[in-house]
Every structure is written in structure tokens, then in C-alpha cells.
Amino acid sequence: MTQILLGQSYYLRFDPKLWEAMQPYPPLGTLYTASWLRQHGYEVALFDAMLAESEEEWALALDQHKPRYAIIYEDNFNYLSKMCLLRMREAAFNMIGMAKSRGCVVILCGADATDHFKEYLANGADYCILGEGEETLVELLDQLSAGKDTGQIVGVASSYTLQVSRRPDITNLDKLPFPAWDLVDIEKYRSLWMKHHGYFSMNIVTTRGCPYHCNWCAKPIWGQRYNSRSPENVVAEMKWIKETFAPDHIWFADDILGLKPKWIEKFVDMVIEANAAIPFKCLQRADLVNEKTAPALAKAGCKTVWLGAESGSQKILDAMDKGDTVDEIYNAARLLKANGIEVGFFLQFGYPGETWDDVQKTLKMVRECSPDDIGISVSYPLPGTKFYERVKLELGEKQNWVDSEDLAMLYRGPFPTEFYRVLHGLVHYEFRAWKALRQPSLRGLVNIPRNLAGLLRSEAKLRSYL
């Protein structure tokens, strides 16, 4: 019998687009919690939903471990958990029921449970932890294990909690033990990555939170707060991972890598000195990429930087409170490419006030900057954001996507949902055709006629909405 079974409710199998892409990463937030609980004397087992077929595997894990506490602790470094996809919420509700039917005390922690704790409690959860969970969870478990009252614990919601408050975040991230990687089936992940991509990638996080004010970005866990691990601590983890698992690649899952002044430069020197460098990808803001950071990233082993470009229209960037400019996006793409780093653009359509002219400016930016990859979404209102407050009266019964391919407009956007689904296809068709011409490959060239045909069909459909 195990004291605690930890799990999460993001099932890659339930997200068709990302299942096809097959770039799975274990749930870092859950693994951090596992190691934190161990450090405080608790026995922990892990159910990793990422590669599970369904909730029935959670039921099997419950029967195998017979835990006293079933804790569904979402990976707060997975942006799809923050988006609260309906299929994953349904999975969480099912998992709660399975655990309750076996007599477990059920505890939830994560973005959706923070925003909608009343729904989770109504579906059988005993406790919901609001915000960052490690310290709150240990205090809750200590009280429960000792048979003491839990009503005064800061950061916990339950059916009898009269007032709900938030615990201050952990500011010294270096005190956290490394994630409990020994609980993960590493070889299963390795085999899938090798089969689909020819290399094996693992994930690391160096920060928690983001201080910027993009008004559509939900921050239910850390708000505007931002805390960073030291370069020494990160390099020590990289060296251990390199020596223990020998991955070919790392994804730094931070909202923004290296925000602290001089952090990247110090990290570069230390990772090289320790022989801990591993090729990696990361996220950056365009206005933070300059003549110093771009070569430093390349020197550290950076292969790909994803930029939250969002729009090629300065009007839309300003409306989003992005805090950077279209010129800075162009400049960042140029500097990164000049240093041998591939560039990815996250693009967002459908923000209030966006016109066809604004859409055209975004398409122009993609053509002229020639990113190596793109990710496309439509504006997605989430609780706690200024954007949500602006459009909440327009929201219907459906307020979350079912999966990441849904692309439904959840409010009355500039154009209807079908327009954006067609636009999504048009941008991808054009992107793939131009990429094949710039970087010829047999497969790309063969597919050019199909992409051009799709482009023409999409353009014709879009015109019918204008």
C-alpha cells in the first residue's frame, strides 16, 4: 500500500493534433511535487497520464497501489493544462470518481482547479489547492495524517472552507529538489521520440511565472510574479540529466528563458565549463533578443527559439498589451537566424478589433521573416485576464475548447469560427509551400501542388466572409 498516488489529467491520446505530432514530455510540475513530498517523508507513486490510453489506466494504478491519498496535480508548465481543455477536465472528473469509489482522499491542484475549484469539489474532490502547490500540499497532508483540522490552511479550498486565500509563492527555487525522474518510464518516451523524430528530447524548467502583462495570458498559478533558479542550479541539473539519461535535446519549458539580467550570459559560461551543454529549444520575447543574447544562446547550444509574435499589426500588439513591436519581431528573427538558431512564431488571430488588413499584415510578417515553424491559434478568453473581462458577456455555454484542434471562437470575434479554421489552413498551406521552395526536399517539392491547391481553395472561402 502506497501513501500517495500522484497523477495528472492531460492525456495526449485525447488531443488528436498533438497525438499525431507525438512530442510527449512528462509532467514536470507533478514530478517536482513527487520529489518535494519524498523530501518531506512521504511515500509516492506516479501515474503518468501523458502516454496512457484512458482513465482506466488510472483505475488500474489505484488498484495496484491502494493509496490513502489520490492527488491529481497538473503540470503547470504545460500550456494546454492552463487552457483547461474540456476533454481533460472530463478526465479529471472521471479520475476523481474512480479514486473516491476506492475510499481515497482526493486532492486537486492546477490551473483549472484554481479557477474552477467549486466545480471540482462538486464532482467529488475533497480539497483543491489554489496556486502553487508544494508547500500547501505538505501542510495539508501533515494535518490530515495527524487527524487535525485543515480549515485554516492557507491556499486550500474545501466544501466547508468559508474563506479562500492564496499562499505566497516559493521565491528560492534552488531549494526544490530535482524532479523525480526515476518515477518516469524514460525508455517509453525515448522510443517514441526516436521512432517519430530520430532524437530524444527531455524537459527542464528554470523559472516560475512571467512578469509581463499580455492581457490574454492567463496566470492562475503565479500571476505577475516571477522567480528564477540560479544558473548554477540549472547547470547542475543539466549535467545530471546528461550523465544519467543522455538525451539528444532539451525543451526549456519556461514562459521566457533567462529574464534576469546577465542570466543567459552566466549560464552559457557555466554550462560550457561543466560540459553540461545539450542542444535545446526555448521561448523568448522579441524585445529580449539582442546582439548579446542571440550569440549567447547559440553558444549555449540553442537550436530553436519560439517567439510569441502573435500579430504583424502594431495596432493588435498594442491592444494585447504585448509591450513589444513588430520591428522587434523582425529584428529578433534576423538576429537568431544570423546566429544559426531556428525561429518559430506563435501567431494569434481573432483578437477584438482585428480586421482583414491586420490579418494581411501578419501574413506579410510571416513571408518576410521566413520562420522555420509556426503555431497558430485564435484568441482564447480565460478567467483572470483583462481579455476575459472584456468579452465575458459574449461567452456562450461553451467556454473552453474540447482539444487543441478545436479553434472555436468562444466569443463574438471579428469573423465566425469557420473563417478562422479556413485561415488556419491557408496560413499553413502557404507556409509549407514557401518553405519547400526555400529549403527544397523531395517530400516538400512533391507536396507543393497540393499545398498550392489548398491555398487557392482557402483564399476563395475566406473571400466569401469579407
As for how many domains the chain has, the answer is 2
pLDDT value, residue 145: 95
Range of the domain at 40: 4-158
Q: Does a structural domain hold residue 9?
A: yes
Q: What are 352-361's pLDDT values in tens digits?
A: 999 999 999 9
Q: What are 71-84's pLDDT values in tens digits?
A: 999 998 988 877 78
User: What mean pLDDT is predicted for residues 265-290?
Assistant: 96
- Pairing mode, if any, of strands 127-129 and 156-158? antiparallel
pLDDT value, residue 274: 97
Residues 268 and 357 in one domain: yes
Compute the distance between CA of residue 140 and CA of residue 122 in angstroms, rounded to an integer: 20
Instruction: Tell me the three cell numbers of residue 423.
Output: 485561415
Domain C-terminal end among 158, 180, 214: 158
Q: What are 383-439's pLDDT values in tens digits?
A: 889 999 999 999 988 999 999 889 899 998 899 999 999 899 888 888 887 777 777
Q: How confident is the model at residue 452 (pLDDT cuts 50, 70, 90)?
A: low
Residues 147 and 212 in one domain: no
Q: Does a structural domain hold residue 148?
A: yes
- Is the Cα torsion angle 23, 98, 47, 205 positive or negative in sign? positive
| 3-state class (DSSP) for residue 106 | strand
Q: How confident is the model at residue 219 (pLDDT cuts 50, 70, 90)?
A: confident
DSSP 117-132: HHHHHHTT-SEEE-SS
Q: What is the CATH number of the domain that holds 228?
A: 3.20.20.70
Residues 291 and 345 in one domain: yes
Residues 372 and 236 in one domain: yes
Residues 276 and 408 in one domain: yes
Calculate the dihedral angle through the C-alpha atoms of 286, 291, 293, 299, rounding to the nearest 10 degrees: 130
Q: How confident is the model at residue 162 (pLDDT cuts 50, 70, 90)?
A: low
User: What mean pLDDT is predicted for residues 361-375?
Assistant: 96
Residues 269 and 135 in one domain: no
pLDDT value, residue 453: 66
Whether pLDDT at 1 is above 80: no
Q: Does a structural domain hold residue 174?
A: no
Whether pLDDT at 182 is above 60: yes
Question: Could you give the percent of the chain with pLDDT greater than 90?
Answer: 79
pLDDT value, residue 261: 85
Q: What are 245-255's pLDDT values in tens digits?
A: 999 999 999 99
Q: Does a structural domain hold residue 430?
A: no
- 90-94, 189-193, 394-398, 449-453: least confidently modelled range: 449-453
Domain C-terminal end among 414, 432, 450: 414
Residues 108 and 203 in one domain: no
Whether pLDDT at 113 is above 80: yes
- Candidates 288, 234, 296, 303; CA nearest to 264 is 296
Q: Does a structural domain hold residue 400?
A: yes
pLDDT value, residue 428: 86
How does the average pLDDT of the chain come out, rounded? 92
Residues 218 and 134 in one domain: no
| pTM for this model (two decimals) | 0.93
- 5-19, 82-96, 388-402, 439-453: least confidently modelled range: 439-453
User: What mean pLDDT is predicted for residues 193-211?
Assistant: 96
- Candidates 240, 233, 304; CA nearest to 267 is 233
Q: What is the CATH number of the domain that holds 123?
A: 3.40.50.280
Q: Does a structural domain hold residue 460?
A: no
Compute the distance between CA of residue 34 and CA of residue 162 in angstroms, rounded to an integer: 29
Residues 328 and 218 in one domain: yes
Compute the distance between CA of residue 131 and CA of residue 121 in angstroms, rounded to an integer: 16
User: What mean pLDDT is predicted for residues 330-356?
Assistant: 97
Q: How confident is the model at residue 462 (pLDDT cuts 50, 70, 90)?
A: confident
Instruction: Tell me the three cell numbers of residue 175.
Output: 531549494
Contact status, residue 289 vs residue 336, Cβ threshold 8 Å: yes
Residue 45 C-alpha from the chain's centroid: 24
Residues 138 and 19 in one domain: yes
Q: Mean pLDDT highest for which of 34-43, 253-262, 441-450?
A: 34-43
Q: What are 9-68's pLDDT values in tens digits?
A: 999 999 999 999 999 999 999 999 999 999 999 999 999 999 999 999 999 999 999 999
User: What mean pLDDT is predicted for residues 151-170?
Assistant: 86
Residue 3 C-alpha from the chain's centroid: 29
Residues 154 and 205 in one domain: no
pLDDT value, residue 440: 59
Whether pLDDT at 188 is above 90: yes
Residues 240 and 126 in one domain: no
Domain C-terminal end among 127, 158, 189: 158
Q: Does a structural domain hold residue 464?
A: no
Q: Does a structural domain hold residue 421?
A: no
Compute the distance between CA of residue 161 and CA of residue 259 in angstroms, rounded to an integer: 37
DSSP code of residue 410: -
pLDDT value, residue 166: 84
